[in-house]
Structure 1
Amino acid sequence: MPNNAWYTPYKCPPSTCLSIGLSQGIVYEMSDGVVVKLPFQYPTKSKFYDILAKNQHPNLAQRLQTKLPIGIVLPYYKPSRKVWGINTTATRFAWIKQLVSAVAWLENLGYMHGDLKVVNMGIDSHNQVKLFDFGSVRHRDDEGFAEQVVEDQFALAMCIYFLASGIDLLAKSNSRVEVQRTLNMLKRGQGIVDEAARDFDQVIQAGWTGNLSSFSSLSKDITDIGNNVPVQLKEFQPKVHLNLDYSAIAEDHRWMNEEVYRTAWKTEGYDTPDNIWD
């Protein structure tokens, strides 16, 4: 197999790196409130943004059109953890409904997000939720899709719990054993929902235990929760940013384009499927 070292097509200043933890790429901050996610030297599902461009939803991130040939350029979204405490309960409830609407939209397109978690949802300049990072999406025709549905249900429940209460149930775990213990407890239906999230108690418990129906049905079920405090929700489309600071990006000559990468695989005796770059 060719060297799958973690090269990216460009070198950006380390001080502009925004990524935390492992992913299928690394995120850098650019000018004009814009970030770019550069893929590592292995296949990623960046083309899923092309699908979203044709099937837009106000709470699913849209890539920006730029002259950068490789990479996913997105608006900068504020981390939900950082802004949770400065927003009202009504706004947080609105975020929950927006998130559920977004995953229901994906479900209707035949997909599961595959990596639902708090760090993959940000807040845009209009204080609306944006779900991003689609490198792990699964289509209903993919192997293991049924299992992914259950995983996404659980993950959505965790996201809803956080947005409603500000509590990350896994944050205080000091080991994988503790994390797994907490997960098992929740899946057995033994989790206790904090008072701040009680309006979503049934939804959260159903997600934890794998008993949610469809995300589309869930979106309808939570419509009236929190409606005693009106929140104005608007749809905003991403603007095209043309004033990117390309001088901060230099090519990394270790990067292989698709043709060269396929050739390297074949040289080592491996077959390359048609969709390795999807």
Structure 2
Amino acid sequence: MKFEPDTLERRLSRRFETPIPEARQFRWIKEIASAASWLESLDYFHGDLRLENILLDETEHVKVCDFGRAMKRGCKIDVATYPFYCPAKNPVAGPAHEQFAIGSCIYTIRTGEVPYGQWETPEDFKRMHEALLQGNYPPTEDDAVLGHIVSSCWHSSFESMGDVEAAIERVVGQLCEEGSAICLSQEEHDICVQKCREFLAQQGQEHRENNAV
């Protein structure tokens, strides 16, 4: 994998020194949703979508990384990262899990803070975990553009990641003026698809072997 100079998490930490235009926020959000939707088309889900696992290239286009927890639809989720995941009974990989992470990513991009703020002590984590269990999510009304989409993602209102991508496109498609993601040729696209399928198949084999031990 090509080395990328930054992560979305680090870039947001510098938002005061280097302001982030709203159009760029919209572009990031569209690109993240597009990546998740494309992965779903392979019947896989990232499983740990959060700002630390989203790279930015030299032109600040999104490159989702760390597919070590990618799972096929319906597989049991063993590990996830709060608050980019909502605790649930018998959680499985699918649109509900993935769109919750998208909602938290959008919230963090738009506010500059992770949902529930900074939680560094066991007491902070306990309060955040209990709020997640009870469905007491941070308010989103202040974001007139994307707040309703964040809330819908947190409440699993979308049937698929394709629906999430379409909803975001409807809202910010006309507002994003910095251009779309870098396009690939058909040949480059097919090569990328094949590499992704091979990687995911290998990860699935390793996961089955580890569970068999």
Aligned partner of 1:101 among 34, 41, 47: 34
Which residue of structure 1 aligns with residue 7 of structure 2? 79
Alignment of 1:112 with 2:45, yes or no, is yes
Question: SS of 1:105's equivalent?
Answer: helix
Alignment of 1:275 with 2:208, yes or no, is no
Q: Distance in 2 between matches of 1:148 and 1:184?
A: 22
1:169 deviation in Å?
A: 2.4
**For residues 139 and 213 of structure 1, do their structure 2 counterparts lie closer, same or farther at Cα, with a shift above 3 Å needed?**
same
Q: Distance in 1 between matches of 2:92 and 2:42?
A: 18
Aligned partner of 1:223 among 122, 146, 169: 169
Q: Distance in 2 between matches of 1:177 and 1:199?
A: 33
Which residue of structure 2 aligns with residue 4 of structure 1? none
1:204 deviation in Å?
A: 1.0
Cα offsets for 1:45-71 (capped at 9, x unmatched): xxxxxxxxxxxxxxxxxx3xxxxxxxx
Alignment of 1:214 with 2:160, yes or no, is yes
**Does structure 2 conserve the Cα–Cα contact (< 8 Å) formed by 1:113 and 1:134?**
yes
Aligned partner of 1:147 among 87, 92, 102: 92
- In structure 2, list runs of 5 or more residues that go unmatched: 78-89, 185-203, 209-213
1:119 deviation in Å?
A: 0.4
**Does structure 2 conserve the Cα–Cα contact (< 8 Å) formed by 1:189 and 1:209?**
no
Aligned positions of 1:57-68 closer than 5 A: 63=1
**Does structure 2 conserve the Cα–Cα contact (< 8 Å) formed by 1:203 and 1:212?**
no
1:96 deviation in Å?
A: 0.2
Which residue of structure 2 aligns with residue 232 of structure 1? 179
Identity %: 21
Q: Distance in 1 between matches of 2:150 and 2:126?
A: 18
Alignment of 1:193 with 2:126, yes or no, is no
Q: Which has the higher strand share?
A: 1
Q: Aligned-pair RMSD on alpha carbons?
A: 2.7
Length, aligned pairs only: 169
**For residues 276 and 224 of structure 1, do their structure 2 counterparts lie closer, same or farther at Cα, with a shift above 3 Å needed?**
closer
| 1:81 partner amino acid | E
Question: SS of 2:144's equivalent?
Answer: helix
* TM-score, normalisation: structure 2: 0.68
* TM-score, normalisation: structure 1: 0.54
1:107 deviation in Å?
A: 0.8
Which residue of structure 2 aligns with residue 129 of structure 1? 62
**Does structure 2 conserve the Cα–Cα contact (< 8 Å) formed by 1:189 and 1:208?**
no
**Does structure 1 conserve the Cα–Cα contact (< 8 Å) formed by 2:141 and 2:148?**
no
Which residue of structure 2 aligns with residue 157 of structure 1? 103
**Does structure 1 conserve the Cα–Cα contact (< 8 Å) formed by 2:57 and 2:63?**
yes
1:133 deviation in Å?
A: 0.2
Q: Which has the higher helix share?
A: 2
Which residue of structure 2 aligns with residue 246 of structure 1? none
